Structure 1
């Protein structure tokens, strides 16, 4: 397969979820609301209303009640029990706690560590009275994430609701790779032996490639999502054509035996997990962490090579990059799961990339292996 010839259904990035689907996604979902409480009572009320309007539960410090734990433990526990983090940052940083961070800063860091979806809003920058520490926090966050302003509490509530609806659409239609095609699936069912998915494909070229894969039943092709990667054989493809460029696809694939990993080996006293980390750093960031003593067994790894130079919109690039990164580590058995993946906005052609993954557990009677991470600057995306 020629990786440079990936077929991306870029029109599918605009898919929106219905109100019914948004409420189904939000049901039982917890959204942590972070801000200086005394500074933003009206904003907090507006955000609570927006969260509850889509059917989710707002997690707010003032609702935590009397507990026999410290306030710091209580709000960090609230972050860890949530799926989405909404941060509202004004001009004040807040009182520093014993660890040196303000409460809102600590909540943001905990949300990052815990892999929550982040919704960041900033107000008051133009007034010129922002605390230096607050400005540093905002600038640091913007290395990886996009922030949104707001003009008044009602405007903030609308923006929060719209962002939650966008998150629902993303998670209800995850990006997948089948062979050299990449598109958004409306539904994925995986019983360990077969994988069935439904998708609205808006590319004739991509549809034609799926038909070709169906008709070429002899070989296996790669399948990947943000959480799964394995070779499959196309068993069935049925298509309902709804317009000249719209195809409702239903695809059934049979899982194939995965090949043995060639990445799980220590080299000259360097652990297998460290070899992978160095190889990814060299391939993605252009570092020189692999020593010459490692020889041909360790070479740079760039899971995003086929995306470089394509100039993709962020709404396509970020989820597709995560799928390809996850695919490489999961297929090569270098990770049992990808804990977080964040690709920052482009700044003069450079993007910050940070990823955390958990290596496979080698021995069942041993503790879970420590997570591994990389953090650096990617060019050309």
Structure 2
């Protein structure tokens, strides 16, 4: 088996900039939970709520809830339902909750709830105040996990909140692609009409044009090489690309864009063989074995004699995701780049496969990836396995924590 090439990850090119209309479109329907002590930060809370509303999202904070009473009964469920968690640190820590075993304040519990639920966290630290010791300790925890913006007055805070929401919107709205061994962001993808017979999928062809704003010389050099055919991975989809043409258009020294034109066709994939009933296992049970070994590094007990599955477990993805996270962290880009890159590379692994390490799925219907928290990440996958010769389709849904701890380090290769 030939060793796979090292992936080239674009860590230099800027993310596409969204205009006001696009930002409001991203924010529409999203809720932002404002969390802080109230007595010392009332003006800040009101200012942040107005900034969030002006941005187009929905602010949620305790003063506006219709139900009075214990914050633990009202506020913490709201944290779980929010799309974004926003923390403001001031002077006070808050009263310890008498029923909490750790004696945390309500604000501290709210933060831990958001953190453990893998919510995006925007954190803001008021400077020039005399802080209680417990709040100083909590701020230290946040600074070790997140980028914490500092502010003095209300105008500083409103500007920082808007910038934080803008950065989050652009990170979540960027489309990443993998072409050959290069992983990079694009600003736009256009699909021409598909050509070919619907009855013969392998004969179908579809011209695709991608526009990018690349600044990484290694990525540009790699894409500029002449190749007749390359693998292509888009969000939740794998294809093969022919007739790849890379051109640059310059409107000035610092205004260079790229066009990548290609003709896409259905990908040549290697998919795990699933038999409707084999060795006492149903197709769904066999598929669960494949997915659990790949995602979580475990092989569940089966119904077959001896308790062993018919399927050979797949190599787990945790070591490669760990290597991806470490590389991004070394460049201080993990907060904005890990989730989209992990989604893209997991799509490639779940759908493409090789003869030595086949893919478990033929279609992904949902893929949710969280940031890395304490060397773990949450993942949810829903998909379909369908092979023409062996029946199906078989449905699968799996979610849980991928744990990087104790994994043998591996490079970020072609998966």
**Normalised by the size of structure 2, how large is the TM-score?**
0.65
* 2:241 equivalent among 233, 240, 247: 233
1:44-63 alignment, distance < 5 Å: 44-63=45-64
- Give the equivalent residue in structure 2 for 1:339: 368
CA distance in 1, matches of 2:177, 2:98: 43
The answer to whether the Cα contact below 8 Å between 2:290 and 2:314 also exists between their aligned partners in 1 is: no
The answer to whether the Cα contact below 8 Å between 1:174 and 1:185 also exists between their aligned partners in 2 is: yes
CA distance in 1, matches of 2:142, 2:289: 32
The answer to whether the Cα contact below 8 Å between 2:127 and 2:151 also exists between their aligned partners in 1 is: no
- Give the equivalent residue in structure 2 for 1:323: 341
- 2:275 maps to 1:247: no
- Give the equivalent residue in structure 2 for 1:283: none
The one-character-per-residue Cα deviations of 1:150-185 (angstroms, maximum 9, x if unpaired) are: 223332222111111211222232433222112212
Larger Rg: 2
The answer to whether the Cα contact below 8 Å between 2:290 and 2:313 also exists between their aligned partners in 1 is: no
* 1:303 equivalent among 320, 331, 340: 320
- 2:222 maps to 1:206: no
- 2:130 maps to 1:127: yes
CA distance in 1, matches of 2:190, 2:378: 26
* 1:221 equivalent among 226, 231, 248: 231
Paired residue secondary structure (1:65): coil
Where does the alignment leave 5 or more consecutive residues of structure 2 unmatched? Answer: 195-203, 275-282, 299-311, 352-358, 386-391
CA distance in 1, matches of 2:379, 2:329: 27
The one-character-per-residue Cα deviations of 1:291-329 (angstroms, maximum 9, x if unpaired) are: xxxxx9565642244786688522378515751465236
Paired residue secondary structure (1:12): coil
- Give the equivalent residue in structure 2 for 1:259: 270
Alpha-carbon shift at residue 40 of structure 1 (Å): 1.0
In terms of mean alpha carbon deviation, does 78-87 or 248-257 score higher?
A: 248-257
- Give the equivalent residue in structure 2 for 1:314: 332
The answer to whether the Cα contact below 8 Å between 2:174 and 2:187 also exists between their aligned partners in 1 is: yes
Cα distance, 1:40–1:177 mapped onto 2, change above 3 Å = same
- 2:390 maps to 1:372: no
Count, aligned residues: 352
- 2:131 maps to 1:118: no
Alpha-carbon shift at residue 119 of structure 1 (Å): 0.3
- Give the equivalent residue in structure 1 for 2:109: 106
Cα distance, 1:156–1:205 mapped onto 2, change above 3 Å = same
Where does the alignment leave 5 or more consecutive residues of structure 1 unmatched? Answer: 281-295, 345-351
Alpha-carbon shift at residue 373 of structure 1 (Å): 0.6
The answer to whether the Cα contact below 8 Å between 2:339 and 2:369 also exists between their aligned partners in 1 is: no
- Give the equivalent residue in structure 1 for 2:309: none
Cα distance, 1:180–1:121 mapped onto 2, change above 3 Å = same
Cα distance, 1:206–1:26 mapped onto 2, change above 3 Å = same
- Give the equivalent residue in structure 2 for 1:75: 75
Paired residue secondary structure (2:371): strand
CA RMSD of aligned residues (A): 4.7
Paired residue secondary structure (1:92): coil
The answer to whether the Cα contact below 8 Å between 1:333 and 1:360 also exists between their aligned partners in 2 is: no
- Give the equivalent residue in structure 2 for 1:348: none
The answer to whether the Cα contact below 8 Å between 1:202 and 1:247 also exists between their aligned partners in 2 is: no
- 2:191 maps to 1:163: no
- Give the equivalent residue in structure 1 for 2:7: 6
- Give the equivalent residue in structure 2 for 1:293: none
Cα distance, 1:311–1:244 mapped onto 2, change above 3 Å = farther
- Give the equivalent residue in structure 1 for 2:375: 353
Paired residue secondary structure (1:94): coil
Alpha-carbon shift at residue 87 of structure 1 (Å): 1.0
CA distance in 2, matches of 1:265, 1:357: 19
- Give the equivalent residue in structure 2 for 1:146: 147
